[in-house]
Amino acid sequence: MKRKITLNDGDKLIAEHNPEFAVSAKHKAILLNAIKTSGVFITAGKTTPNIMSSHWGSLGVFWNRDVFVLPIRKHKMTHEIIDVTKSFAVSVPIKDMRQQIIQCDHFSGYAMNKFEKLHLHPTRARKVPTFVVGECGLFF
């Protein structure tokens, strides 16, 4: 179940909940630490995936369920893809991938395939109809 809240400027907050997946305290801590320090990858797209990096997001509980709230600007390609597919994945690096995250910030998915440009490998997600970054070790 997804809850979407559109803000006045067209940006979107997306709360993702997967009832089959409970998030452990350890994984929550790893995700929040990655957001605070190096960042995480956000992927979306059922057939051709797009990737963006994020340095913000909120992990919490709505209606007794774990959720991750992700703000995405309207001009982002990922925003358009999520509007259509209604799904996304969060890939958390467990090794140092700061260079790829920084580079991902500077490229547009409209202009290129960022997976190819960054030499990353899209891998099918198990629980949502999208891809994750194969080089990462933790996925939401």
pLDDT band at 7 (very low <50, low <70, confident <90, very high): very low
- The 10 Å Cβ neighbour count of residue 43 is 28
Q: Give the pTM.
A: 0.81
**Dist CA 7 CA 9 (whole Å):** 6
pLDDT for position 16: 44
Q: Which amino acid is at 107?
A: F
pLDDT digits (tens, 9 = 90+) for 35-64: 999 999 999 999 989 999 999 988 888 888
Give the pLDDT confidence of 86-139 residue by residue, as tens digits: 999 999 999 999 999 999 989 999 999 999 999 999 999 998 999 999 999 999
